[in-house]
Chain A
């Protein structure tokens, strides 16, 4: 079973701080890495899908990078705002050539204090 690790488990920052968290995985044998943002009582919301080593994606103040050779992806949030408070999940798709299923990490819970 592939183990997708996310760190830290939780993070508390002040409004305006920039922050980043990590998703690490032991194998590059997958099709895509997904980042989701999950607010309490809502559906997980897709942020990014990355497929290639060196991929960088950006959406507003949030960006992500993928390094399949060293087995990690970073998610960055610049100038955190209270509305960024959520759990951020990463997931691998297509592990081992399978065409279904996402293998999730446990998530990083971000709390941004005003």
Chain B
């Protein structure tokens, strides 16, 4: 069990456009979803935490109006990068949690903003 899909796996977009990343837990329900990003040579860093049906909680330094998170169901969460800029180029990875301390991961999305 514990299969997580994430789409797209990579995307290139122009500066100023928006990009939506979709994360699905295929064989379990996730009440909590974590979104991480990783810059080159850095560790995975938490961006935000969302619980199904509630507003996401963002980490310090992460703009909530720029990174819109929707967690409308127990199996689907989306991250929309609005008005993307080159500095938003990064690797984004979702992590649905099935039980406390039991987290799984999507395969990630490589975003390049030109």
Contact = CB atoms under 8 A, between A and B. Distances in A.
Do these two chains really belong together in a complex? yes
Interface of A: 4, 31-32, 36, 41-44, 46, 49, 89, 91, 93-94, 99-102, 104-107
Contacts of B41: 106
A109 to B, nearest CB: 11
Task: Name B's interface SS.
Answer: loop
Contacts of A89: 44
20 contacts: A41-B107, A42-B107, A43-B4, A43-B104, A43-B105, A43-B106, A44-B105, A91-B44, A94-B101, A99-B100, A100-B32, A100-B97, A101-B46, A101-B49, A102-B34, A102-B95, A104-B43, A104-B44, A104-B45, A106-B41
Interface residues of B, number: 22
B103 interface: yes
A31 B43 contact: no
The 3 closest A-B pairs by CB, nearest first: A104-B43, A104-B44, A44-B105
B101 A49 contact: yes
Contacts of A91: 44
